[in-house]
Chains A and B, each alone.
Chain A
Amino acid sequence: MEIDPTSLQGHNKEDIISVFIEHVVKTEEEVEEKETRGGKTTDLKLYLLDNQGFEFGTIETTVEHLATSDDTDRNTKNWIADHVVDEQSIDDDLSFLQISTPDAGRTDDFLVIRSNGYFWILTTERKEWCRKTVEKLIQYLPGVERLYLSSDDLEDIVEGLQDAYVSGFTAKYHAPYRKRDATLVFHGAEENDLDKAEEAFDATPSRIEWDQTNSPAAAIQGANTNDGHLSVENVREGSEAKAVNTILGLTEDYQERDRANYEVEHKPTRTIFDDGSQAIDGHTAIELTDPDRDDAPNLAEELQEDVLSGLQYNAGMWGDDTFFVQDKEHEEVFEIALEPPNIILYARENTTALSLRSFCQEILDEFDSTYSLEKKQNMLVGQ
C-alpha cells in the first residue's frame, strides 16, 4: 500500500477514503485504454464488519491470545502460525494492520477504521491476497463478523444509487428439493438482465457490479457483494468527490439494512422479582419465509443434515418442530421454530446478531437461496 498511514492521523473517514480514491483515479486516456472491466488494476476494497463487544485496536493481542488458547481450533492455529499480524494504533478510531506471509515473502496492508460501532477495513491489496489474509483473520476474530445482506437488500441498495445502472452480477439459485444448482455470472449486463435471471431461474444476486455516471459518461465503477464487501475499480478524474459520497452512502445503507435484519434491538431480558414473578423485556424474531416450494414435510431433517450437523452447531430438539441451537463459534444459544416451509429464529437472552446473521447466511447461501427475510420485534414492557 503506497499510503503513509501516519499521515491520516486525526482525519475523518471522508478524508481517509479520499486518499484511497486517489489510487484508483484514471485519466480520460487511461479510461479509454481500459475497455473492459477486471484485469489487474488496483481497486479499493472496503470490508464492513459488525462488532459485538470486540475492543477496537486489540487485533494483535487477540491473535496472540488465540495462538495459545486451548479453545482455539486447528485451522485458526495453523493460519496464525503461518502469518505475522501487526497492528499499530494511528488514533482512537484508526489503526494500521499488516499481515505478513513469510512463506510468500510479502506483507499486505490494511487500515481499520472505527465508525459508529462498526469496523471498516480498507485496502488496495489484491483480491487473492485479501482472501488469504484479512478475510481469514476476520473469520477467526471473536465478536467480529462481516455484514450480510439478503439479495433483495443488495439489489435495493444498488437501485438506490443515483445515476447508476447495473453492469454485471453474479446470481445463484439453489434449493434443497431440486437437483439443480445454478450460478449465473454476467458482465456487461443490460437493464433488466437481473430481473430476467430472477424470473427465469429464481436466481438471486450475491454480487452486483454497477457503473455510476457523472454527466454524462461512466465515471465510477464499483461492485457490492452481499457479504459486506464493496469495491471501487475505476474513478474518472474529476469524479473523486462523487465517489467518496457514493462509498459513504453505501456503507450507511449496508449498516442500516444489516441492523434492521439481525440486530437484537429488543432483547428478551428476563427480570426475576423478589417474589418470584418475572418480566420479559422484549421480543425479537427473524422470519425466513416464502421459499420456492409450498411445503417442506422433512424440513427438520433437512436442516439437521445440511446445516445443524456442521461444526459450528450443537442442536437439540423440542418436539418435532423446534430446535434449541448452540452456536459454538459465537458462544450463544438461539431457538429455531419450524412452520414449514418457513423457518423462524427467536432470540433468547444471550443471542446477538452474530449467531442470527450467521445462521441466516448459511440458509441463504447454502440451504435455500429463495427464502425472504424479515425481522419482527417489539417491546413487551414499558420503555
Chain B
Amino acid sequence: MSGEQDHWLRQKREIQAYNTFFSALSARANPCLAAHGFEAPVEFPRIEGAREGVAAHPDFLLYDGSVFLLVEIKQGTNIEDRHIEQMEECNRVGIERAETYLRDSDVQEKTSYDGNVDQVETCIVYEGIDEEYLEKCRNEWDNCREKLEKLEEQTAILTQGRGESLRLLTGEFDSTRLQSRFESGIDLPTNPKTEFIVTESWEKECLAVAISHTWGHQAASGPVQISASDIRSHFAPRHAVPMGRIKRVLHFLNEVDACSEVDDEEETHLYEFTVDHMQAILDIEQTVSEQSVEDYLMEDDQTDLDSFMDPDGDNGDDDDEDEDAANQ
C-alpha cells in the first residue's frame, strides 16, 4: 500500500513470514501438515542443547509422534552467518533432550503422542529465497556459495510464499517421509491468518501492534487493565523485551488513544483498554505504518509542552536499559 514506510514494511514481512509458515498446519493448506499427523505443541520454544546454558531457539516445533522437527523462519534475500549458527544450535538438540522437552507437563498437554522421539530434524524456511536465487548463489555471487554449502550441511532449506508452496529447495531430511512431503510441497493460502505478531528484535512498532492485538482486542467484551510488567512477563524469557521499550510503547498507545493510562500512585504503568479505544486499536497497523513510534512521539513532544517534563526519563531512542537483549 502507498505510504507504508520502510521501517514497518520490513517488520511486517518478518511477521508475515511466521504466519505464512504456520498456515501450512491449518486446514486451508493443501495438503495440510496437521492432516499428516503433525502437531504444533509449542511456538517459539527454548530447548536446552547438549552443552549447559546453550539452548536452541527455533521458531516452531512440529512433532508427529516420531519426528521432532525444529523450524527456523527467515525473511529476506540473504543467507547470513547467524542463520548457520542458529541451525547448529538446533542440531545440537539430541533425541534425549527432545524427549525431555516433550515430557515437560505443559508441553505434554499439547500433544496426543507419548513423547517418544525417533529422529530430530531441522529446517530453515526462507521467504524470499527461491530456486533461481540458489542457482545464482551457487554460480554467480561471491561468498554466497560457501555460506549456502555450510548451511546445506547443517539443515534442509525450504522456501515459502503466500499463495505459493512451502517446498524443499536444497539440503536433506533424514526422514524419508519429511523429504518426500516437502519435495512435493504444500500449497499455502494467499492470505494466511495473522496469528503471530512477532519479530526477532521486537521493534517498537511490532510491539505496539502485538500489545493492541493481545490485550486491545479483548476490550471488545469489557475493559482490560494491563501493566508494563504484566506485558514483560507475558513475553519473557523467550522474548526478552526491554522494560523501557514496553513503557515507551504503552506511552505511544496512550497518545494515539489505543488505551489510557490509569492513575496509580505506585507507578506500575497501568493502562486500560476499553471499547472507546477500539477504533484506534483496530487502526494500529495503519498508524505505525505511516510513522515510526519514535517519530510520532517526537512530533508529539514538540507540540505537547507537558511532556517536556518526562518523569521517567525514558524518551531516548536507545532505551534498551535492560540487561538482556533479544536472545535469538
CB distance from A14 to the nearest CB of B (A): 37
Whether A320 contacts B1 by the Cβ 8 Å rule is yes
In the assembled complex, A316 has its CB within 8 A of some CB on chain B: yes
Alpha-carbon gap, A182 to B147, bound state (A):
63
- For B110, what are the chain A residues with a Cβ–Cβ distance below 8 Å? 271, 279, 281, 381-382
- On chain B, the number of residues with a Cβ less than 8 Å from chain A's Cβ atoms is 54
With both beta carbons as reference points, the residue of chain A lying nearest to B191 in the complex is identified as: A337
B50 interfacial by beta-carbon distance below 8 Å:
no
The range of chain A's interface size is 35 or more
Q: Mark B217-230, 1 if CB is under 8 A from A, else 0.
A: 11011100000000
Closest chain B residue, CB of each to CB of A285: B28
- B25 on interface, CB distance cutoff 8 Å: yes
Contacting residues, chain A, for B286 (C-beta < 8 A): 316-317
Residues of A within 8 A of B4 (CB): 319
Binds B, one of A95-103, A221-229, A344-352: A344-352
**Inter-chain contact B41/A381, CB cutoff 8 Å:** yes
Q: Which of B118-126, B175-183, B275-283, B302-310 contacts A (4 or more CB under 8 A)?
A: B275-283
A residues 275-333 near B (Cβ < 8 Å) are: 275-281, 283, 285, 287, 314-322, 324-328, 331-333
Query: Looking across the interface, which residue of chain B has its beta carbon closest to that of A343?
Result: B191
Chain A: CB-nearest residue to B110: A381
**With a CB–CB cut-off of 8 A, which chain A residues contact B239?**
276
Q: In A245-293, which residues have CB < 8 Å from any B CB?
A: 268, 271-281, 283, 285, 287
Alpha-carbon separation in the docked complex, A317 to B235 (Å): 25
CB-nearest residue of chain A to B190? A339
Does residue A377 face the partner (Cβ distance < 8 Å to B)? yes
Question: Contact: B217 with A378, CB < 8 Å?
Answer: no
| B35 lies within 8 A of A378 (CB) | yes
- B39 in contact with A382 (CB, 8 Å): yes
B45 touches A277 (CB 8 A): yes
Partner-binding segment picked from B70-78, B192-200, B247-255: B192-200
Establish whether residues A350 and B221, one from each chain, have CB atoms under 8 Å apart when the complex forms: yes
Query: A275 is contacted by which of B39, B237, B278 (Cβ under 8 Å)?
Result: B237
CB-CB nearest in chain B for A284: B27
- Asked if A380 and B26 make an inter-chain contact with CB atoms under 8 angstroms apart, the answer reads yes
B26: chain A residues within 8 A (beta carbon): 283, 285, 376, 378, 380
Interface residue from B41, B113, B217 paired with A350 (Cβ < 8 Å) = B217
User: Is there an interface contact between A316 and B281, defined as CB atoms closer than 8 Å?
Assistant: yes
Q: Does A90 interact with chain B (Cβ within 8 Å)?
A: no
With both beta carbons as reference points, the residue of chain B lying nearest to A348 in the complex is identified as B217
* Cβ of A367 to closest chain B Cβ, rounded Å: 18
Q: List 25 A-B contacts (CB under 8 A).
A: A273-B106, A276-B234, A277-B46, A278-B43, A279-B110, A280-B40, A283-B25, A283-B28, A283-B193, A316-B279, A317-B283, A319-B4, A324-B213, A326-B220, A328-B275, A335-B194, A339-B189, A339-B191, A344-B191, A348-B217, A378-B26, A378-B27, A381-B39, A381-B40, A382-B41
Known: A337-B193, A346-B193, A380-B25. 20 other contacts (CB 8 A): A278-B42, A280-B40, A280-B195, A285-B27, A287-B28, A314-B279, A316-B279, A316-B281, A316-B282, A316-B286, A319-B12, A322-B194, A333-B220, A335-B194, A339-B163, A339-B189, A346-B194, A378-B26, A380-B40, A381-B111
Task: Identify the 8 closest CB pairs spanning chains A and B, nearest first.
Answer: A316-B282, A382-B112, A276-B238, A337-B191, A382-B111, A376-B27, A381-B110, A316-B283
